[in-house]
Amino acid sequence: MEVYLSENAFVGLLVSTIEVYRRECLGILLGHREPDRIMVDFAVPYQAARRKFQEVHMDWHRSQRVEEAVHTTSRWELVGDYHSHPMYGDKKSTTKLSGVDQKDFRDEGTSIIVAINDGHRKQRWGYVKGGLISGGVNGYAIRMAAYHKEGETLVRVPLVCPYAVGFMAKTKGPTPVEIRPE
C-alpha cells in the first residue's frame, strides 16, 4: 500500500498548511482507490474545524455529508483526510501521530500529516527514510507522511509524489524571454 500525491494535491496541502501557519489546518483528500495504492488528486481544506489545544478534529457527520456531495457531483471519492502539525513556540513539530490522532483515526482510513517548522536554509525536496517527503518552501521546512489503518493495524505507508521531488529542478527552469514592443 502506498499513497500517491498528484501535483494538485501536493500544492493544495502546501498552501493549506502555510496559509494558517502557526495554526493547524484540516481537510479532506479526494481521489480514487486502486488495489495497491490510493491516488490523491485534490486536497480540500475544511473551513470549520473544531479546534482544541494543538489539535484539530474532524466532524465525521460533516465529512459524510461532504462525501455524499463529492460522490454525486464528481468522479472522485473521499479517500482520506489531512491536517498539519505546526511548530509550537520553540518546539519543532513532527509527522508523528499524536495520541488523539491515533484515537480519532478512521477505520480503513488514510491520513496525511504535514509537519511545518521555521527553516533557514534552502532545502531540496526528496524522499526521506520511512517513506516521508521533505523539503523547503519560502523559509518553511515541510515534511509529509501518510498513515493507513487496516483492521486494527495503523501503519505508516510510503508517500509518493514525483512532482514534489522534481520541484527544485523546476524552479531552475528555462530563463524567461523578454518580450519587446514592436
What DSSP element (H or E) covers 151? none
Nearer to Zn ion, 113 or 160 (CB): 113
**Minimum separation from the CB atom of position 174 to Zn ion (A):** 40
Per-residue x/- marks for Zn ion, 92-111, CB under 5 A? ------x--x----------
Nearer to Zn ion, 64 or 98 (CB): 98
Q: Is 62 helix (H, G, I), strand (E, B) or coil?
A: helix
Total Cβ atoms within 10 A of residue 149: 16
**Minimum separation from the CB atom of position 21 to Zn ion (A):** 15
Nearer to Zn ion, 148 or 167 (CB): 148
- Binding residues for Zn ion, rule CB under 5 A, total 2
**Minimum separation from the CB atom of position 132 to Zn ion (A):** 15
Of 87, 101, 113, the C-alpha closest to 16 is 113
Q: Is 74 in the site for Zn ion (CB under 5 A)?
A: no
CB within 8 Å of 112: residues ≥ 6 apart: 3, 5, 13, 29, 40, 43, 80, 81, 82, 144, 145, 146, 147, 159
What DSSP element (H or E) covers 50? strand 50-52
Nearer to Zn ion, 25 or 30 (CB): 25
Residues in the site for Zn ion, rule: CB under 5 A?
98, 101
